[in-house]
Amino acid sequence: MECRAGRGAESAGHGRQAGRVGSAVMRALVAMGAATAHHVRALEAYSTPLHGSAVHFALVERPDTAFDEAGPAHAGDVLVRVHAFSCNYREKGRLLQAARRAEGGYLVLGSEFAGTVLKVGSAVEDLRPGDRVFGDGAVDATLAHPGLSTQRASQELQVLPRAKLMRFPAEMSFAQAAAFGVGAQTAYSMVRRLRPARGAHIAVTAATSNTSLFVIGALVARGHTVHALTTSAAAVPQLRALGVRDCCVLTRSEAADPLLQAYLAAQGIEKFDAVVDPFMDIYLRKLVRHLRRDGSYITCGVYQQFSEEAPDGFIDQGLPLAEVFSLIVRKNISLIGNNLGTTGDLAEALADHCAGRLPIPLDTVTGPDGLADFVQRTWLASGRHGKVVFEYGPGGPANMGSEQ
């Protein structure tokens, strides 16, 4: 796919006055416990047990957002209308906390979005109404707002600093764009920081996770040799189709070490040169002994971010931590932690996608009337392959006024 400048696909915001955007409300997806759900008027609701707690999800209406494009308070800001959003792994822990909170309350969900610019502040010169934008989660410490653009991405209107937005091309759908930013930026940062040598054998763990699917794409795009480690045997054909050298299938009920040894032997390699791992608490203790001297291990997260109903024995398999630490030192292993990435990482990923080198792992696109499906596929379904996106669809709520 070749991409052109992402400007003007929709024109927006004609004749709007400073102040509130629409007449009253915008939509958002929230999660909460039973006590709060009882009082919330939902456009659509879905309740499900999640890790031992009843969680209530609701599409609700919230008061719309004030944005004074001429005033100094919003000079560097942009008002965006969200067309599509998605949620991330981390939100599961946050929403469970909200649902379990004795004092009630709700959490507005969403970590990634794609939308159109409605208005820009007086100091914003390089964006204009109608531009298609998504979040830039750059963690550059010199920025005033390092990290995710928003943790309330489902909110239909967003006021965000210009620096936290990136334009995306018209060839990319809103759903694709809402599935792209966090995974792509994190993956490109990890590959950049890993600096794999040509011909290196790189293991990518939890290969069917959203993050690892982007990592595999980034590595394959650069011609690296990728070994996909997965507990999803059914996903092997899809992983092979992405261009990995082969897949090492682990089962959560079996010892991982003999399977890893057999895989390495079958591949004719003694050890991996590098590991990319989104779940350090599961894989570090299993892989350190299979990583070569002077090898590199980069990780962006842990699995246990919320309480499990029944602890999974697979997680604890592997060397005791004292031995892991000792091996890291004795083998001169570089252990790298990674949080998101830079604007350059996101731009590079976008360029690779536009050049047809980076597929976007998109499992499901759902929308209003599809809340149950969205929640199920995002957090509960097995066999998911990529991101799950909620799309508000064209038109939007009547009371937001016409912007098409």
Ligand X SMILES: NC(=O)c1ccc[n+]([C@@H]2O[C@H](COP(=O)([O-])OP(=O)(O)OC[C@H]3O[C@@H](n4cnc5c(N)ncnc54)[C@H](OP(=O)(O)O)[C@@H]3O)[C@@H](O)[C@H]2O)c1
Is 374 a residue that touches ligand X (CB under 6 A)? no
Answer for the pair 276, 218: CB distance below 8 angstroms, yes or no: no
Give the shortest CB-29-to-ligand X separation in angstroms: 17
Residues of 280-313 as b/e, b for ≥16 C-beta within 10 angstroms? bebbbbbbbbbbbeebbbbbbbebeebeeeeeee
Which residue of 23, 339, 399, 402 would you call a contact of ligand X, by CB under 6 A?
339
- Name the one range near ligand X by CB under 6 A: 65-73, 207-215, 322-330, 351-359: 207-215
Residue 128 CB partners (closer than 8 Å, separation 6+): 7, 117, 120
Nearer to ligand X, 107 or 400 (CB): 107
What tokens does 300 get? 């962006």
Interatomic CA distance for residues 314 and 281, integer angstroms:
11
Amino acid at 305: Q
Pick from 37, 28, 120, 17: which is nearest to 74 by CA? 120
Nearer to ligand X, 129 or 301 (CB): 301
Is 364 a residue that touches ligand X (CB under 6 A)? no
Which residue of 90, 101, 145, 192 would you call a contact of ligand X, by CB under 6 A?
90
Q: Which residues pair with 163 in a beta bridge?
A: none
Which residue of 232, 238, 364, 366 would you call a contact of ligand X, by CB under 6 A?
232
Nearer to ligand X, 279 or 374 (CB): 279
Answer for the pair 274, 296: CB distance below 8 angstroms, yes or no: yes
Is 158 a residue that touches ligand X (CB under 6 A)? no
Q: CB count, 10 Å around CB of 272? A: 24
- Name the one range near ligand X by CB under 6 A: 14-22, 101-109, 118-126, 296-304: 296-304
With tokens 């696109």, the residue in question is 365
Interatomic CA distance for residues 160 and 69, integer angstroms:
12
Answer for the pair 370, 393: CB distance below 8 angstroms, yes or no: no
Which residue of 314, 374, 390, 392 would you call a contact of ligand X, by CB under 6 A?
314
- Name the one range near ligand X by CB under 6 A: 157-165, 204-212, 323-331, 344-352: 204-212
Nearer to ligand X, 332 or 339 (CB): 339
- Name the one range near ligand X by CB under 6 A: 69-77, 98-106, 202-210, 316-324: 202-210
Is 207 a residue that touches ligand X (CB under 6 A)? yes
Find how far residue 375's CA is from the centre of its chain: 15
**For ligand X, which residue has the nearest CB?**
301
Give the shortest CB-318-to-ligand X separation in angstroms: 12
Is 206 a residue that touches ligand X (CB under 6 A)? yes
From residue 110 to residue 129, the character string flagging contacts with ligand X as x (rule: CB under 6 A) and all else as - is --------------------
Is 251 a residue that touches ligand X (CB under 6 A)? no
Give the shortest CB-302-to-ligand X separation in angstroms: 5
- DSSP states along 274-329: EEEES-HHHHHHHHGGGEEEEEEEEE---S-SS--SS--HHHH-SS-HHHHHHHHH
Answer for the pair 165, 127: CB distance below 8 angstroms, yes or no: yes
Answer for the pair 166, 248: CB distance below 8 angstroms, yes or no: no
Number of residues that bind ligand X (CB under 6 A): 25
- Name the one range near ligand X by CB under 6 A: 9-17, 43-51, 53-61, 84-92: 84-92
Nearer to ligand X, 56 or 377 (CB): 377
Name which of residues 171 to 200 contact ligand X (CB under 6 A): 182, 186
Which residue of 89, 106, 180, 272 would you call a contact of ligand X, by CB under 6 A?
89
Residues that bind ligand X (CB under 6 A): 88-90, 182, 186, 206-211, 230-232, 252, 278-279, 282, 300-302, 312, 314, 339-340
